[in-house]
């Protein structure tokens, strides 16, 4: 039986990947755009989950690092010239692919700059301190207008390699009778990035650094005693998570084609926190599921608002799709913390047909705290241990 589960375990990702490769041939632009946004958000959420779920360091600064990634890409790849509102933009006009790499590095460097705080401050304190970055970031985005374009934002150059646009329409390309336009290409770029980000995070967590981070979260003193350089690891987790956010920012910028400062506010940080809590703290798969839920819900609600008659038109005082989505994920955060701290991933584990003996006790469908809650401050990262065993 375990052979069969093993086979399933191997077949599932391959099948899923094949399906994802075929999607652009069948679905329309709306679904492709939604998919790109979900995949970009998934990358950001994986990064945040490394920090919050695994290392136990709360951060509300994720929106800031997304902004750094998105704007750094625009600045490195963008051309100087007049922007909106009488602003003269600057830009380095580097090759876009190099600009994307530099943008991710810049996000990491911004994380490193914050490491004197991120490395020394613990858990909740970091959550409060990281708020500073969101507000500072907003201030910079509005005021550093030669780089960011100020209030009106800045248009995003296409990602391209040797004149072939990876996220645009030029040159035109038709595959098996299906035109591969900008949304299709963005889908593939995002897919490659999300797979790399997913596998990398799994490897980091399954290896030595991941175990060190978990130990640090459970007992910082013990980690220090066995030789984990605690503050360096905290800072490293922060830097890695900001680089993930940077990559997510670059991809989101491609999907939006124009970046505006308003988007990168505290609300966005809270949305990313919602993703990892709903998906499952400490789990890479959970981050992806949570990203799909939080990103997908508002779009789906407004797409089907014709069918969902209880939702009001946007702009009226009733519950419009955006408000409904926010209410749902606010309630979902509370419900996950109170009822099932493992989030969607743990829910999926419960529904699995043949749970292994240790999971059997939790599989009775009774919502409640785990047997010994004191020793499991967040979620024990079972996801990772099963992956490596």
Partner 1 sequence: MTRLLELLAVGLSLGMLYALIAMGFVIIYKGTRVVNFAQGSLLALGAYAVARIAPSAGFWAAAAAGIVITVAGALLIRFLLARARGHDHMALAIATIGVDVVLTTELTRRIGPDVLSMLDPWGAATVRLGGVTVPQARIAAMAVAVVVLGLLLALFRYTGWGVAMRAASADAEAASLMGIRLGRVATVSWMIGGALAAGAGVFMSTFPSAGLDSHSSTIALAAIPAIILGGLDSTHGAIVGGVTVGMAKALTAGYGSELGFLGAGFGDVMPYVLMVAVLMWRPSGLFGTREFIRV
Question: Which region among 23-31, 173-181, 239-247, 274-282 touches partner 1 (by CB under 8 A)?
Answer: 274-282
Q: Which is nearer to partner 1, 12 or 113 (CB)?
A: 113
Query: Is residue 166 near partner 1 by the rule CB under 8 A?
Result: no
28 versus 316: smaller Cβ distance to partner 1: 316
Q: How far, CA to CA in Å, does 47 sit from each of 5, 54, 89, 155, 168?
A: 29, 10, 31, 26, 27
Nearer to partner 1, 142 or 164 (CB): 142
Q: Which of 334, 351, 354, 361 binds partner 1 (CB under 8 A)?
A: 334
Q: Does 199 bind partner 1 (CB under 8 A)?
A: no
In angstroms, what is the minimal distance from the CB of 33 to partner 1?
A: 25
Q: At what angle do helices 230-256 and 96-113 cross, to 10 degrees?
A: 140
What lies within 8 Å, CB to CB, of 281 at 6+ separation is 49, 52, 53, 341, 342, 343, 378, 379
Read off the tokens for 231.
């503050």
| Nearer to partner 1 among residue 33 and residue 144 (C-beta) | 144
Task: Pick from 2, 174, 309, 317 the residue near partner 1 by CB under 8 A.
Answer: 317
92 binds partner 1 (CB under 8 A): no
CB 242 to partner 1: min, Å = 16
Altogether, the residues listed in the chain come to a count of 389
Q: Which is nearer to partner 1, 139 or 203 (CB)?
A: 139
Maximum pairwise Cα distance, the chain: 68
Give yes or no for residue 124 binding partner 1 (CB under 8 A). Answer: yes
Phi and psi dihedrals of 115, rounded to 5? -65, -25
Q: Among 84, 127, 348, 363, indicate the residue that binds partner 1 (CB under 8 A).
A: 127
Q: Mark the segment that binds partner 1 (CB under 8 A) among 243-251, 273-281, 293-301, 357-365.
A: 273-281
Contacts 24+ apart (CB under 8 A), 127-135: 127/58, 127/59, 127/60, 130/58, 130/59, 130/60, 130/61, 131/60, 131/61, 131/266, 132/61, 133/61, 133/64, 133/65, 134/60, 134/61, 134/63, 134/64, 134/265, 134/266, 134/269, 135/266
Q: Quick one: which of 20, 94, 120, 158 contacts partner 1 (CB under 8 A)?
A: 120
Distance between CA atoms of residues 159 and 165, nearest Å: 6
Q: Which is nearer to partner 1, 55 or 236 (CB)?
A: 55
Q: Does 110 bind partner 1 (CB under 8 A)?
A: no
Out of 332, 344, 345, 384, the residue judged to bind partner 1 by CB under 8 A: 332
Please list every residue from 346 through 375 that binds partner 1, using CB under 8 A: 369, 373-374
Per-residue interface string for the shown chain with partner 1, residues 211-250, x marking contact by CB under 8 A: ---------xx---x-------------------------
CA distances from 69 to 13, 60, 298, 327 (A): 29, 16, 24, 29
E-strand spans in the chain?
Answer: 81-82, 88-89, 154-155, 160-161, 164-165, 174-175, 178-179, 258-259
Between CA 321 and CA 311 the distance in angstroms is 6
- Contacts to partner 1 by CB under 8 A: 52, 56, 58, 116-117, 120-125, 127-129, 131-132, 135-136, 139-140, 142-144, 220-221, 225, 266, 270, 273-274, 277, 281, 317, 319, 323, 326-327, 329-334, 337-338, 341, 369, 373-374, 377-378
């Amino acid at each position: 039986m375990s052979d069969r589960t093993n086979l399933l375990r191997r077949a599932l990702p391959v099948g899923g990947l094949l399906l994802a490769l075929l999607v652009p041939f069948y679905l329309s632009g709306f679904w492709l755009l939604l998919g790109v946004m979900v995949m970009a958000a998934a990358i950001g959420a994986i990064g945040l989950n490394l920090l919050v779920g695994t290392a136990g360091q709360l951060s509300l600064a994720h929106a800031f690092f997304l902004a750094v990634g998105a704007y750094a890409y625009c600045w490195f790849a963008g051309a100087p010239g007049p922007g909106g509102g009488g602003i003269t933009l600057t830009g380095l006009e580097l090759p876009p692919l190099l600009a994307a790499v530099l943008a991710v590095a810049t996000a990491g460097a911004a994380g490193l700059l914050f490491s004197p705080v991120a490395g020394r401050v613990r858990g909740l304190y970091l959550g409060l301190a990281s708020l500073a970055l969101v507000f500072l970031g907003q201030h910079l985005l509005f005021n550093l207008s030669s780089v960011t374009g100020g209030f009106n934002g800045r248009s995003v150059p296409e990602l391209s390699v040797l004149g072939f646009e990876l996220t645009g329409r030029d040159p035109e390309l038709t595959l098996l009778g299906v035109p591969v336009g900008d949304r299709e290409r963005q889908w593939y770029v995002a897919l490659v990035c999300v797979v790399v980000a997913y596998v990398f995070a799994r490897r980091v967590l399954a290896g030595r650094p991941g175990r060190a981070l978990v130990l640090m979260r459970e007992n910082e003193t013990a980690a220090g005693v066995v030789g984990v350089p605690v503050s360096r690891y905290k800072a490293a987790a922060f830097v890695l998570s900001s680089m993930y956010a940077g990559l997510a920012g670059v991809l989101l910028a491609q999907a939006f084609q124009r970046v505006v400062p308003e988007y990168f506010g505290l609300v966005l940080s809270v949305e990313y926190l919602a993703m990892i809590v709903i998906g499952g703290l400490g789990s890479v798969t959970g981050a992806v599921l949570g990203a799909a839920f939080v990103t997908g819900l508002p779009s789906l609600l407004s797409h089907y608002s014709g069918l969902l008659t209880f939702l009001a038109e946007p702009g009226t005082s009733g519950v419009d799709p955006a408000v409904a989505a926010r209410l749902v994920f606010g309630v979902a955060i509370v419900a996950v913390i109170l009822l099932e701290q493992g989030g969607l991933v743990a829910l999926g584990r419960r529904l699995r047909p043949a749970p292994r003996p240790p999971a059997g006790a939790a599989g009775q469908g009774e919502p409640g705290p785990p047997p010994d809650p004191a020793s499991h401050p967040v979620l024990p990262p079972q996801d990772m241990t099963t992956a490596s065993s």
